[in-house]
Amino acid sequence: MKHKGFVLWFTGLSGSGKSTLANEIYKKLKVNGTKIEKLDGDVVRENLTKDLGFSPEDRDENIRRIGFVSNLLSKNGVAVLASFISPYIHQRKDLRAKVENYIEVFVNASLEVCEARDVKGLYKKARTGEIPLFTGITDPYEAPDNSDIELRTDELSVDECVNQIINYLKKKGFIFFD
Query: With bands split at pLDDT 50, 70 and 90, how would you rate the model's confidence at 148?
Result: very high
Query: What local confidence, expressed as pLDDT, does residue 23 receive?
Result: 96
Domain 6-171 homologous superfamily, CATH = P-loop containing nucleotide triphosphate hydrolases (3.40.50.300)
Query: With bands split at pLDDT 50, 70 and 90, how would you rate the model's confidence at 149?
Result: very high
Q: What percent of the chain is modeled with pLDDT above 90?
A: 70
Query: What local confidence, expressed as pLDDT, does residue 119 receive?
Result: 87
pLDDT tens digit sequence for 57-83: 888 898 999 999 999 999 999 999 999
What pTM value is reported for the model? 0.92
Query: What local confidence, expressed as pLDDT, does residue 42 receive?
Result: 73
SS3 105: strand
Q: Would you list the domain boundaries of the chain?
A: 6-171
Query: What local confidence, expressed as pLDDT, does residue 46 receive?
Result: 79
Query: What local confidence, expressed as pLDDT, does residue 120 receive?
Result: 87
Find the DSSP H helices in the chain.
18-31, 41-47, 56-75, 89-98, 111-117, 122-127, 158-171
CA geometry: angle at 140 spanning 137 and 144, to 5°? Answer: 125
Catalytic residues, which ones?
A: 86
pLDDT tens digit sequence for 2-61: 668 999 999 999 999 999 999 999 999 999 888 999 998 777 877 778 788 778 888 889
Query: What local confidence, expressed as pLDDT, does residue 136 receive?
Result: 87
> How many CA atoms does the CB half-sphere of 172 hold within 13 Å?
17
Angstrom distance (rounded) from CA 147 to CA 164: 14
Query: What local confidence, expressed as pLDDT, does residue 43 receive?
Result: 78
Contacts of 1 (CB under 8 A, 6+ apart): 32, 33, 34, 175, 176, 177
Query: With bands split at pLDDT 50, 70 and 90, how would you rate the model's confidence at 178?
Result: low
Statement: residue 168 has pLDDT above 90: yes
Query: What local confidence, expressed as pLDDT, does residue 1 receive?
Result: 47
Statement: residue 88 has pLDDT above 50: yes
Q: Which of 81, 131, 60, 141 is nearest to 108 (CA)?
A: 141
**Strand pairing report for 79-83 and 6-11:** parallel
